[in-house]
Amino acid sequence: MLRDVVAALDDLYPPGSAAPWDRVGLVAGDLARPVRRILFAVDPTLAVIDEAVAWEADLLVTHHPLLLHGIHSVATTNAKGAAVTRLVENGVALFVAHTNADVAQPGVSSVLADALGLTEQRALSTLEGRDGRPYAAGRVGVLAVPSSLAAFATTLAAVLPGTAGGIRVSGEPEATVRVVAVMGGAGDDRFEQARACGADVYVTADLRHHPVLEAREESGGGPPYLVDAGHWATESLWLESVRARLHAALGESTAPPARVASRISVVRTEPWTFVVGANTATPSPEVPPES
């Protein structure tokens, strides 16, 4: 029953650890309804909901909230209303684990840190949850083998799903990186902590001109170098984690035949679809700069 699945998810990602402004938990659905199929996605877009409906999913679990700000209509004349209507009409429940999934252990950032093989992991900073307690936000760890910034970015690209925008790096390609800070999703409010923790490189997403330029100025052109690896890409690795943890909590294997079937959405909710005019020459650490 949905009641049991919601209880398991609340246990894995306690709502009290979510940021006070956040909206997490069950958005649509009847707790007394059975759950046989669960779809996982980063964003509850209409295309993802259509996929859930077509697959006859009973529950859609997403990272980002569908309804974060006040709405006054669920009519199909607006996209949010159309999404709610489609969920309700087709009997698809929606559950959101957002900032409570960011701070979880394993959570969005720790899964990214694990994928990069970071050891000696610790928190990048702390966030106060709505329960007033501090929670770890972002991760810092050490690469098994120090590498050039260019080689590190290439490794990161191999770990993450590919996107049209690729990975943007601010720093010298041949600079050596060993200590890595990561924050899945938008992390341009953690530059100070990335500098304070001694990171050589900070991997996050949604980086804008002024904050990046100012952070680079503050660090005098040295570390931490900055990497914008894409919001959807840096958070999508978490989906396999929540899927496996939920099945374990429900006492089932992710491999069929399981009583509850699940899968990760095939819809890529990365909004950027193509890039033109980029300098596509990837700097190689092997080639010394011209003198």
**Residue with Cβ nearer Zn ion (99 or 262):** 99
**Residue with Cβ nearer Zn ion (29 or 185):** 185
223 near Zn ion, judged by CB under 5 A: no
Choose one: 70-78, 123-131, 184-192, 272-280; the region binding Zn ion (CB under 5 A): 184-192
- The encoded tokens of residue 92 equal 């698809």
# binding residues, Zn ion (CB under 5 A): 1
**Residue with Cβ nearer Zn ion (101 or 140):** 101
Query: 85-104: b or e for each residue (b if 16 or more CB lie within 10 Å)?
Result: ebbeeeebbbbbbbbbbbbb
- The encoded tokens of residue 161 equal 């799903």
14 near Zn ion, judged by CB under 5 A: no
Side-chain half-sphere CA neighbours of 233 within 13 A:
23
Choose one: 89-97, 135-143, 182-190, 236-244; the region binding Zn ion (CB under 5 A): 182-190
Cα–Cα distance between 266 and 39 in angstroms, integer? 10
185 near Zn ion, judged by CB under 5 A: yes
**Residue with Cβ nearer Zn ion (112 or 149):** 112
Quick one: how many helices (H) and strands (E) in the chain? 10, 11
Cα–Cα distance between 93 and 217 in angstroms, integer? 47
* Closest chain position to Zn ion (CB): 185
**Residue with Cβ nearer Zn ion (191 or 238):** 238
Q: Is the peptide bond before 257 cis (omega within 30 degrees of 0)?
A: yes
Choose one: 47-55, 134-142, 179-187, 196-204; the region binding Zn ion (CB under 5 A): 179-187
**Residue with Cβ nearer Zn ion (74 or 186):** 186
- The encoded tokens of residue 75 equal 């009519």
* Closest C-alpha among 76, 70, 61 to residue 28: 61
Choose one: 68-76, 136-144, 178-186, 248-256; the region binding Zn ion (CB under 5 A): 178-186
In angstroms, what CA-CA distances link 96 with 9, 168, 290? 9, 29, 51
Summarize as ranges the residues that interact with Zn ion (CB under 5 A).
Answer: 185
